[in-house]
Amino acid sequence: MTRNVGIVGGGHTKWGVREASYKDLIQEAGKATFEDVPDVTPDDIEGLFVGSVQPERFAFQTHVAPMVAELLGVDVDSMIARTELACASGQAALRYAWLAIAAGQIDTALVLGVEKMNLPREYTPEAQTSMANVMDREFDGVNGFNAPPYFAMVAQRHMHEYDTTREQLAQVAAKNKTHAANNAFAHFQKEVSVEDVYDSFELSPPLCLYDCSGVTDGAAGLILMNEEKAREVTDEAAWITGSGQTCLGSNSINNLPSMSAWPQATKAAEQAYEQAGIDDPVDELDVAEVHDCFSISEIVEYEDLGWVEKGEGGKFIEEGRSELDGDIAVNPRGGLLGCGHPLGATGVSQALEVFNQFRGTVEPERQVPDPETGLIHNLSGSASVHSVMTLARGRP
């Protein structure tokens, strides 16, 4: 029999190009997390799960989970792990913590996502070539398929098949970056118009600079507890109601099932919706943090998460259905386009955003009106893996 699990608190570093080291970011996020839940101390933590993608290359450090425990003064009683699933590493850490508590193995867990991506100038080539490792380096990497060219091809194909427009892509970027302008921890804090997106540097057509997420340093943490303990420390927990994760037998780009659709996302969403008892996500979801690593990603996700029919994602943004007062408020923290994308921290930050939206502690300019249900979504690699989690306020 599984147990109900709630997020009871969390904390953030400032995201951006930071002088702070990898260890500094860990300590900043850990301090903020424990300060947010004063009734929970490092002594209460039984399980520690660290999402971090490439500390070996960005921070020249491996075996990082025990290092996090040491830096935060946590003596782990039962379970410790670092998760690596490219851009979904943070949500993977959160998912494992949830499963461990739901299974009764532990009662209280700390999840921390962290990435230090901006290195001193002498190490810039190391940092710039590291992201190619996320693709299949032997096949995709040698042909220049890092992230921007791949997602540009997705955009080109989607535009060809469904008449998606350049303006619709720019509307995604403008929406999310404008949300980030009202987010104290976001990397990019400037309101952006559709015209600003057009005018930004053309990177990989049709994608311009503002269509792409940033290279960002940052960390975020969460504390999870079983229902009994969670209710002892807060009456504002965000309850995890469902989770799905799929990889449909592909990794390299030439083996993906489509260049304009992600059936992996559909299957992961269906798994999460079934567990959460969600029949109509557009009607039943209030807020969502989806993986907008590039503007086209959010449009494809509108479709493949089951919110609109295939090919109608562009209209979803154009008609304002993903605005704060729309059908589903999408990426009110600013998403990856506005907050930046410190790889291992993103999924943790998304869940923290939904939690803070539930308890009404985000900036008023980006507060979703009275949200009761939420979703977080991550893709990783060449969109070969998709992870989805649903949350609810006030009820497990």
Mark whether 247 is an active-site residue.
Answer: no
Query: What secondary structure does DSSP assign to 287-325, as a single string?
Result: EEE---SBHHHHHHHHHHTTSS-TT-HHHHHHTTTTSTT
The rounded distance, in Å, linking the Cα atoms of 355 and 174 is 24
Its sign, for the CA torsion 244, 249, 250, 256, is negative
- Distance between the two ends of the chain, CA-based, in angstroms? 15
The rounded distance, in Å, linking the Cα atoms of 374 and 342 is 22
185 by DSSP, 3-state: which? Answer: coil
The rounded distance, in Å, linking the Cα atoms of 159 and 164 is 4
Q: Give the residue carrying structure tokens 């999408």.
A: 330
Catalytic residue among 12, 87, 212, 291: 87
374 by DSSP, 3-state: which? Answer: strand
SS3 of 208-228: EHHHECCCCEEEEEEEEEEHH
User: Residue 94: which of 82, 79, 111, 71 has the closest Cα?
Assistant: 111
User: Residue 391: which of 295, 289, 299, 300 has the closest Cα?
Assistant: 289
User: Residue 348: which of 337, 333, 361 has the closest Cα?
Assistant: 333
**Torsion, Cα of 242, 247, 248, 254 (10° steps):** 150
Residue 14 structure tokens = 């400032």
Mark whether 160 is an active-site residue.
Answer: no
- Whether 70 contacts 260, CB under 8 Å: no
Pairing of strands 218-226, 5-12: antiparallel
- Which residues 6+ apart lie within 8 Å of 43 measured at CB? 75
- Whether 171 contacts 318, CB under 8 Å: yes
- Whether 376 contacts 350, CB under 8 Å: yes
Catalytic residue among 12, 187, 291, 341: 341
The rounded distance, in Å, linking the Cα atoms of 54 and 61 is 9
Question: Which residues are identified as catalytic?
Answer: 87, 341
